[in-house]
Amino acid sequence: LDRSGKFWLGTTDGVYCYNGKVFTPFLDNYSIINKNRVHLKWTQCMLEDKSGNIWFGSWVKGNEGICRYDGKSISQYKPYGGGWIRHIIEDKNGDILCVTRLHGVCRFDGKTFTNFTEKGGIDNSSIDAILEDKAGNLWFGTEKGSGQLGEDGGLWRFDGKSFTTFTTKDGLVHNGVFFILEDRNGNIWVGTRNTGLCRYDPSAQLRAGGKTFTSFSE
């Protein structure tokens, strides 16, 4: 849903727009400048940034990378040559962060893409989810780790300086993390493989004996 109230839907047959009455194939608008002739088929994720640009991330079968629509034209990018984009967010600085299949999380400042997760020990091919919380921390859900902890995957947090990982040793219900959400109280909810669900309470670390992770899985 964009700021004008229009719904954007990514499908295996391209992107469609819904205005509340009818569905319209986005690329049927022939006034759009599409120099790279992208098809936007197999669109896996989308984002409207603060400036009103619409970003599209392509699944592996589309292999079109990340595309930006500025209201007139479509620009196509492939971070480090990769065409599969798993997730897109805009951070508090206005940079675009995209989760790639083989090159970790890449930050786009409008000119270049830079991988910044590899230096934290996260396996480049393992990241499935990303979230920026209210405090500005970045969270990553992974399924395959660096091997440093003797475990695979887990939940990772980047505070701008250092990376911290949480696994089942810390109370995480499962190390395969697919979904991350922050609620209004600042708790981080984590959805994992095997229908796992748990909640991370940052304030618990400040309370003596506080339980950081609470499981809601049966």
pLDDT in tens, the chain (218 residues): 999 999 999 999 999 999 999 999 999 999 999 999 999 999 999 999 999 999 999 999 999 999 999 999 999 999 999 999 999 999 999 999 999 999 999 999 999 999 989 888 888 888 999 999 999 999 999 987 544 445 678 999 999 999 999 999 999 999 999 999 999 999 999 999 888 999 999 887 655 555 789 999 87
pLDDT at 58: 98
In degrees, to the nearest 5, what angle opens at C-alpha 88 toward C-alphas 45 and 113?
Answer: 130
CA distance linking residue 139 with residue 124, whole number of Å: 15
pLDDT of residue 85: 97
**What's the confidence (pLDDT) of residue 204?**
76
The pair phi, psi for residue 160, each rounded to 5°, is 100, -15
Tokens of 52: 């009103």
Neighbours of 9 (CB within 10 A): 13
Q: Is the pTM of this model over 0.85?
A: yes
Q: Which residue has the tokens 């120099």?
A: 35
Question: For position 146, what pLDDT does the model report?
Answer: 47
In eight-state DSSP terms, residue 33 is: B
